Amino acid sequence: MVQDNQAPIRIALLGAGTVGSQTARLLVEQHDELVHRIGRDYRIVGIATLDPVNDPWIDQSLLTRDTAELCTRADIVIELIGGIEPARTFVLKAIESGASVVTANKALLAKHGQEIYKAAREHGVDIFFEAAVGGAIPIVRPLRESFAGDKINSMLGIVNGTTNYILDEMTTKGLDFDIALREAQEKGYAEADPTGDIEGYDAANKAAIMATLAFHTQVGIDDVSVEGITKITAADIAAATAEHKVIKLLAVVEHNEAGVSARVYPALINENHPLASVHGSFNAVFIKAKEADDIMLYGRGAGGAPTASAVVGDVVMAARNIVSGTTATGIQTYNTLPLAPADASKAAFAVRFLIHDKPGVLASIAEEFANHGISINGVNQDLQPTQHDPGYSGELQQLRIVTHLCDEVTLRKTVDAVCKLECVSGEPSILRVLD
């Protein structure tokens, strides 16, 4: 799109929900300050929304339902619709029309990132998405720029505020999962349908983006192994607390000799680990780099205003590039690194079984672990007199086994074999143990 270099930069906003309305507010309230930072005036030329908007900082005359048309008359398009479609169609329409794009849409980038990055390169425009990972925390730009002279070996982070809030409430207040979830919904930390958060899918989208940026290789949502927190019980929390550990839902991306891996899972971490002190709905990402060593980024991972601050920061960067007639370095995926096989990564695991309280049970279970070549590091048993197993008149115990390092494939085969024993009841709990 050819524009007079003295004319105001035209900004289109797609979506006027929680983040969209806060983005509009910042662009209006901070107009004079942002103009100084950009070096040229800007104006909002339209706000696409299907729903009525009554926010005082949104000019009603700018509202439109013709989102596709709006994408063709802007220099910067801010996509805050969310989801895959029609967001993908509108983003590509904006890029093909010569507009730079700012988005917070992690699901879109995790699924169609390569297509969008390629389109931006071919049309000579910018694609910025700081708010897509970690809300207000600056993660994307450091990965694109600050670590350009270094090599990242791994990243692990708490990148979903909803699940962190739930686990933190279970830990600090002793709440059951269902009660903590309901409380999160009442406070606005969780959606009415929390599936994307509690099943780990939101964090998985972010893990795919993190791995792509960190290792310069294409990693999509389908490459991410995902496990949520719905199986975490008060008993798991109590056992962790007794061992001076906490349970966190982590997004973990790694690059080693076996290749690249991206996983999301709940894990036990030592209470002295920096991530253990991340409470409530806050997020944090722990980076291990070859030269810079250990770095942790921490802050608000969600919320309208914090996320909008990251969006507007990207708008300023895109606008500055328009003023200077340049674009940022594109998303570089020059590597074609293999995906690490599932059995390449080794970890210690804590497995909790519900077992019959009678002689010989522990020996039978230990024998299955030995038969599969898994070494046991520790065993703990707690009587559970209020639980019962149909067909068994005795009491039940919780048996918690902590292993030495082993691969997950073998571990799960072992657990499946143990669960087939008549003395084992219910579904086991499996947690990784991180140093």
When pLDDT is averaged across residues 224-253 and rounded to a whole number, the result is: 94
Q: Whole domain around residue 416: which residue ranges?
A: 346-434
- State whether 129 and 154 are in the same domain: no
Which of the residue ranges 14-18, 85-89, 107-111 would you say has the lowest mean pLDDT? 14-18
Give dist(CA 93, CA 201) in Å, integer: 27
Q: How many domains does the chain have?
A: 3
Confidence of residue 300 (pLDDT cuts 50, 70, 90): confident
Is a pLDDT exceeding 50 seen at residue 213? yes
What is the band of 409 on the pLDDT scale with cuts at 50, 70, 90? very high
In terms of domains, do 21 and 113 share one? yes
Residue 336 covered by a domain: no
For residue 257, pLDDT beyond 70? yes
Name the pLDDT band for 393 (thresholds 50, 70, 90): low
Higher pLDDT, 166 or 6: 166
Q: Which residue has the tokens 């914090």?
A: 306
Q: How far apart are CA 204 and CA 220, in angstroms?
A: 9
- pLDDT computed for residue 384 by the predictor: 58
Looking at per-residue confidence, does 385 or 191 come out higher?
Answer: 191
pLDDT tops 80 at residue 281: yes
Annotated binding site: 14-21, 106, 191
Q: Which residues are annotated as a binding site for L-homoserine?
A: 191
pLDDT of residue 383: 54
Q: Which of 206, 245, 413, 420 is catalytic?
A: 206
Question: Final residue of a domain: which of 246, 267, 300?
Answer: 300
Nearest to 163 by CA among 60, 266, 13, 236: 266
Residue 251 — pLDDT band, cuts 50, 70, 90? very high
pLDDT for 386: 57
| Domain-embedded: residue 384 | yes
Say if residue 293 is in the same domain as residue 364: no
For residues 22-42, give the mean pLDDT: 97
Shared domain for 147 and 289, answered yes or no, is yes
Question: Residue 409 and residue 403: Cα distance in Å, rounded?
Answer: 14
Alpha-carbon distance of 289 to 152, in angstroms, equals 4
List the binding residues for NADPH.
106
Closest CA to 301 of 323, 279, 316: 279
Q: At what angle do helices 106-123 and 201-215 cross, to 10 degrees?
A: 30
Find the range with the poorest average confidence among 1-15, 32-46, 67-81. Answer: 1-15
pLDDT mean over 7-17: 96
pLDDT value at residue 4: 57
Token couple for 271: 């209470």
Which contiguous run of DSSP H or E holds residue 309? helix 304-324
- Look at residue 372 and tell me if it is in a domain: yes
Q: Mean pLDDT over all residues of the chain?
A: 93
pLDDT at 3 (0 to 100): 52
Tell me the mean pLDDT in the region 275-299.
94
CA gap 340, 348 in Å, rounded: 18
Q: Is residue 243 part of a domain?
A: yes
Tokens for 80, please give them. Answer: 């805050």
pLDDT at 216 over 80: yes
Domain of residue 357, CATH code: 3.30.70.260
Q: Is the pLDDT of residue 2 over 50?
A: no
Does 90 lie in the same domain as 169? no
On whether both 249 and 144 belong to a single domain, the answer is: yes
125 & 144 share domain: no
CATH number at residue 154: 3.30.360.10
For the domain that residue 56 is a member of, what is the CATH number?
3.40.50.720
For residues 313 and 212, membership in a common domain is answered with no
**Claim to verify: residue 42 and residue 124 sit in the same structural domain:** yes
pLDDT (tens digit, 9 = 90+) per residue, 303-338?
A: 889 999 999 999 999 999 999 999 998 898 998 999
- Overall average pLDDT of the 113-139 stretch: 95
Structural domain includes residue 341 = no
Are residues 153 and 270 both part of a single domain?
A: yes
Residue 340 within a domain: no
Q: Which residues are annotated as a binding site for NADP(+)?
A: 14-21
Residues 238 and 319 in one domain: no
Domain end, chosen from 300, 332, 360, is at 300
- Per-residue pLDDT for 385 more than 60? no
Q: Is 337 inside any structural domain?
A: no
Is residue 157 located within the same domain as residue 295?
A: yes
Closest CA to 197 of 222, 180, 213, 218: 180
Instruction: Examine the residue annotation and report whether 206 is marked as an active-site residue of this protein.
Output: yes
- On whether the pTM is more than 0.75, the answer is yes
Banded pLDDT at 405 (limits 50, 70, 90): very high
In a domain, 334, yes or no: no
State the pLDDT at residue 1: 46
